Amino acid sequence: MSMLKSPDQIMMMREAGRVVANALSAVREQAEVGVSLKELDDIAASVISDFGAKPAFKDYHPRWAAVPFPGVICTSVNDAVVHGIPNGYVLEDGDLLSVDCGAFVEGWCGDAAISFVVGIGSPEDKELVEATEAALARGIDAARTGNKMGDLAYAIGGEAKRAGYGLLADHGGHGIGRTMHAEPPVPNLGRPGRGMKLEEGLVIAIEPMLILGGKDDYYHDEDEWTLRSANGRRAAHSEHTVAITADGPIVLTLP
């Protein structure tokens, strides 16, 4: 199947993106001190079900994973960078929570993530979240015909790296469509002018994952899914599904 989508197909992906955005908004509204990750998972599940959509993460079992993913969302707290399991952990004041969500509508997938501080939080964590969101915004702005993948990758991660943040090793964004993870890979760091041409109809998930302290390394938690920063520092993750069109980038994962 071609990587490129027609305008009609992009419209259908927009519906999946809308569901994901609504689920993330609901989770964010309810993510307070004293609420468990499992409760947040239930909230996302009910929003996705209310839309008649299908969760993309639940029971997802890629070859590299030891067990199928047990949740509807990924909930990654503090030093967890991505793929955190929504378990019975109860949120505490100052936790940095990243929530990743995917859903299918009529066989088309949307994928997005947000990070935020629960309660008061530290200025350092808030700046980390802002830097991650800024990296995503720069990436979206570079998702244009006339650019190459290296331009996009450099736009996502270049400034974060210069500012002294780590970028999670071996992980980045991806093509998306009938499956959640499709070609091409969308790296979070690259060299301008290199790589494939960005073409009209390409739909990609752009997802910077920043770590405090400048190191990129991680390890797998014993739950087999959660990736934690090797230096134990906090991490943030922001993601949107974005269509490259003749009129510029269109973010599909908005409410």
**Binding Mg ion by CB under 5 A: which of 205, 211, 212, 235?**
205
Write each residue from 141 to 180 as x if it is in contact with Mg ion (CB under 5 A), else as -, in one continuous string. ----------------------------------------
236 scored as a contact of Mg ion (CB under 5 A): no
Tell me whether residue 192 or residue 223 sits nearer to Mg ion (CB atom): 223
- Interface size with Mg ion, residues (CB under 5 A): 5
Q: Which stretch binds Mg ion (CB under 5 A): 36-44, 47-55, 108-116, 225-233?
A: 108-116
Q: What is the DSSP letter of 221?
A: -
Tell me whether residue 125 or residue 239 sits nearer to Mg ion (CB atom): 239
111 scored as a contact of Mg ion (CB under 5 A): yes
Q: Which stretch binds Mg ion (CB under 5 A): 3-11, 121-129, 154-162, 203-211?
A: 203-211
3-state DSSP helix/strand/coil % of the chain, to nearest 5: 30, 30, 45
Tell me whether residue 120 or residue 167 sits nearer to Mg ion (CB atom): 167
Per-residue 3-state assignment (H helix, E strand, C coil) for the chain: CCCECCHHHHHHHHHHHHHHHHHHHHHHHHCCCCCEHHHHHHHHHHHHHHCCCEECCCCCCCCCCCCCCCCCEEEEECCEEECCCCCCCECCCCCEEEEEEEEEECCEEEEEEEEEECCCCCHHHHHHHHHHHHHHHHHHHHCCCCCEHHHHHHHHHHHHHHCCCEECCCCCEEECCCCCCEEEEECCCCCCCCCCECCCCEEEEECCEEECCCCCCEEECCCCCCEEECCCCCEEECEEEEEEECCEEEECCCC
27 scored as a contact of Mg ion (CB under 5 A): no
125 scored as a contact of Mg ion (CB under 5 A): no
Q: Which stretch binds Mg ion (CB under 5 A): 99-107, 149-157, 212-220, 223-231?
A: 99-107
110 scored as a contact of Mg ion (CB under 5 A): no
**Binding Mg ion by CB under 5 A: which of 100, 125, 151, 216?**
100
Q: Which two tokens stand for residue 120?
A: 């008061």
Write each residue from 55 to 94 as x if it is in contact with Mg ion (CB under 5 A), else as -, in one continuous string. ----------------------------------------
Binding site for Mg ion (CB under 5 A): 100, 111, 113, 205, 239
